[in-house]
Structure 1
Amino acid sequence: MIELSTPSAGSNGRVALVTGAARGIGLGIAAWLVSEGWQVVLTDLDRDRGSKVAKVLGDNAWFIAMDVSNEGQVALGVAEVLGQFGRLDALVCNAAVADPHNITLESLDLAYWNRVLAVNLSGPMLLAKHCAPYLRAHSGAIVNLASTRAAQSEPDSEAYAASKGGLLALTHALAISLGPEIRVNAVSPGWIDARDPAVRRAEPLSEADHAQHPAGRVGTVEDVAAMVAWLLSRNAGFVTGQEFVVDGGMTKKMVYEQ
């Protein structure tokens, strides 16, 4: 069962495309935007779940399948959005090969490296390329979902860290290239408990998991969604080319062992 809470706010007439939206942070962002009255187009590789969550989200949600690393699918998907709604106001690039860990560098498979970069970095570039003309027409905005792992790492996370670091650079490059008509920003989540509600209830995080954060808890998808929604809003009209870290303060905390 898919559990979502999306109080209806009618329609604000604006259309957002959210990638990787069948679960986790992407789904949280889509649900938040629907609650604010956006028409949201969800994309994902998982057709079955994507279609189900769009149905749960209601009339303001629509699903299309898309591999963001495939330019043909990106171009076709954007054309479908324009054919269905006639406009595009926002792009949220969340789709990613999300597991940060791979095997040791000496055993790292080049095909895996290339797949991670294709989805996590080339995908947002392709989406920006094909969405830009339509976003420009409505002074739209792009938000890329990066990661605190762009700036700090655990062992054996080279592909993921490199892709997210590249995404931050792509963000400010796009902001300069597409401005002033299109604003482009990045959100870098820290530890976000993006599991389905039933899993969170069955396997709750420990007190220590929460207590280590200066904010006193692990993050939620709503924490990220609220930031993304603000960056897409007209209230953020003077904000572009920036990274916003949503990590409960962890990247500002000294972690040296005593």
Structure 2
Amino acid sequence: MKGKYTGATVIITGGANGIGKGIAKAFAEEEAIVCIADKDEEKGKEAVRLLEEAGGKAVFYRTDVSIEEDILNLIDRVMKDFGRIDILVNNAGVSRFKPLFELTTEEWEDVVFTNLRSVFIGSREAARRMKEGGRIINIASTRATMSEPNSEAYASSKGGIVSLTHALAASLQPNGITVNSISPGWIQTEDYDQLREKDHLQHWSNRVGNPEDIAKACLYLADPENDFINGQDLVIDGGMTRKMIYEE
């Protein structure tokens, strides 16, 4: 029902690009106050401009989620500006696919700090301010449960997000706050028209995913009337992780 999120304050990390931008658009269309947190200031302000031109309400907060102080400042500024946090979408992340024996400890830590530690810090601080009915949604990945070579840092971070999600759900259930994650598969954020037929046919849904597919799931999990799904990971991948593949 349109207007269900009217006046709700939604924080979306990594909201200036890709999946995050699609999530921001969906909540803006539902009349929420959209707080885009991203370290890309140019694209963040452009995203806000586009949302406002479409009639939405959005604010940009420059935030590098790999830095704890940035996350703390983000939460404080949103509370100062709007007095409430209803929904947090922990979406920001980086990937670094590099041969195992060339991947340094510092590079591994950078991915894990950005993708996983930020979810812990952001969720902890947002939950302190959330009232009963708050919603936390963490964007994980199907790479939490399946891998290609040279993906150790990214897989570790996304697998950690899935586990952290149900741990947070357990700790926050007395507060009436639900915590769920979404594991996207192949989500094409640019040049969708350039995909090949065989790309689409790898999926049981017969198409590659797009940011709107993830945004719809966020709206479902954030629904104020939806409090029975909690601590879960929702896989959205067109059936890819269920597809049995034999090589001849």
Report TM bin, short chain.
over 0.9
CA RMSD across the alignment: 1.5
Q: 1:256: how far off?
A: 2.0
The aligned counterpart of 1:200 is 192
One-letter code aligned to 2:192: R
Report whether the alignment pairs 1:247 with 2:237. yes
Report whether the alignment pairs 1:187 with 2:182. yes
Matches within 5 A, 1:80-99: 80-97=77-94, 99=95
Matches within 5 A, 1:74-223: 74-97=71-94, 99=95, 101-102=97-98, 104-135=99-130, 137-180=131-174, 181-195=176-190, 199-201=191-193, 204-223=194-213
One-letter code aligned to 1:63: F
Q: TM-score, normalised by structure 2?
A: 0.94
Report whether the alignment pairs 1:224 with 2:214. yes
Count, aligned residues = 243
Q: 1:11: how far off?
A: 6.6
Q: 1:75: how far off?
A: 1.0
> Distance in 2 between the 1:10 and 1:91 partners?
16
Say whether the 8 Å CA contact 1:75–1:130 is kept in structure 2: yes
The aligned counterpart of 2:37 is 43
One-letter code aligned to 1:31: K
Say whether the 8 Å CA contact 2:12–2:37 is kept in structure 1: yes
Say whether the 8 Å CA contact 1:9–1:34 is kept in structure 2: no
Say whether the 8 Å CA contact 1:144–1:171 is kept in structure 2: yes
Say whether the 8 Å CA contact 1:20–1:43 is kept in structure 2: yes
Say whether the 8 Å CA contact 2:6–2:31 is kept in structure 1: yes
Instruction: Mark the CA change 1:200 to 1:10 in structure 2 (over 3 Å): closer, same or farther.
Output: same
> Distance in 2 between the 1:125 and 1:26 partners?
18
> Distance in 2 between the 1:239 and 1:191 partners?
24
Q: 1:13: how far off?
A: 1.6
Q: 1:107: how far off?
A: 1.3
Q: 1:10: how far off?
A: 9.8
Q: 1:235: how far off?
A: 3.6
Q: Secondary structure at the match of 1:234?
A: coil
The aligned counterpart of 2:67 is 70
Q: TM-score, normalised by structure 1?
A: 0.91
> Distance in 2 between the 1:73 and 1:145 partners?
19
Instruction: Tell me which stretches of 4 or more aligned residues in structure 1 moved more than 4 Å.
Output: 8-11
Report whether the alignment pairs 1:21 with 2:15. yes
> Distance in 1 between the 2:96 and 2:223 partners?
30
Instruction: Mark the CA change 1:9 to 1:141 in structure 2 (over 3 Å): closer, same or farther.
Output: closer
Say whether the 8 Å CA contact 1:89–1:138 is kept in structure 2: no
> Distance in 2 between the 1:10 and 1:236 partners?
12
Structure 1, unpaired ranges of 5+: 1-7
Instruction: Mark the CA change 1:10 to 1:164 in structure 2 (over 3 Å): closer, same or farther.
Output: closer
Q: 1:200: how far off?
A: 3.4
Q: Secondary structure at the match of 2:25?
A: helix
> Distance in 2 between the 1:56 and 1:11 partners?
19
How much identity, in percent, do the aligned residues show?
42
One-letter code aligned to 1:212: Q
Give deviations 1:29-70, integer Å, cap 9, x for gaps: 000011111111001010111011111101511100101121
Q: Secondary structure at the match of 1:62?
A: strand
Give deviations 1:151-202, integer Å, cap 9, x for gaps: 000110000001000110100000001114110000000000112xxx334x
Q: Secondary structure at the match of 1:175?
A: helix
